[in-house]
Amino acid sequence: MADDIRQVLQKTIDTFLANNDLGVKNKDPSLFSAVLTEDCVRTYRPTSFVERYARFFKPRLTNADYEAQMRVELLTMEAVSHTATRTTIDTARRQATLWTEQTVSTTDGAVTKIELIFDLSFSEDGTRVSQILVFVDTYEASKILEKMLAEAGGAGGAH
Over the chain (159 residues), the average pLDDT of each successive run of 10 is: 89 96 94 97 92 80 91 87 96 97 89 94 98 90 74 50
What pTM, to 2 d.p., does this model score? 0.85
Query: How many structural domains are present in the chain?
Result: 1
What's the CA gap between 67 and 114, in Å, rounded?
Answer: 20
Position 16 scores a pLDDT of 97
Q: What CATH number does residue 52 fall under?
A: 3.10.450.50
Residue of 149, 159, 129, 154 whose CA lies nearest to 76? 149
Position 158 scores a pLDDT of 41
Collapsing DSSP states into helix, strand and coil, what is residue 10? helix
Position 159 scores a pLDDT of 38
| Residues in CB range of 32: below 8 A, 6 or more apart | 19, 20, 23, 63, 66, 67, 70
Instruction: Tell me if 131 is assigned to some domain.
Output: yes
Position 102 scores a pLDDT of 93
Collapsing DSSP states into helix, strand and coil, what is residue 122? strand
Instruction: Tell me if 32 is assigned to some domain.
Output: yes
Position 151 scores a pLDDT of 66
What's the CA gap between 146 and 151, in Å, rounded?
Answer: 9
Instruction: Tell me if 156 is assigned to some domain.
Output: no
Q: Which domain holds residue 141?
A: 2-151
Position 35 scores a pLDDT of 97
* Sequence-ordered strand ranges (E) for the chain: 36-45, 77-90, 95-106, 111-122, 129-136
Instruction: Tell me if 119 is assigned to some domain.
Output: yes
Instruction: Tell me if 157 is assigned to some domain.
Output: no
Instruction: Tell me if 159 is assigned to some domain.
Output: no
Instruction: Tell me if 29 is assigned to some domain.
Output: yes
Instruction: Tell me if 11 is assigned to some domain.
Output: yes
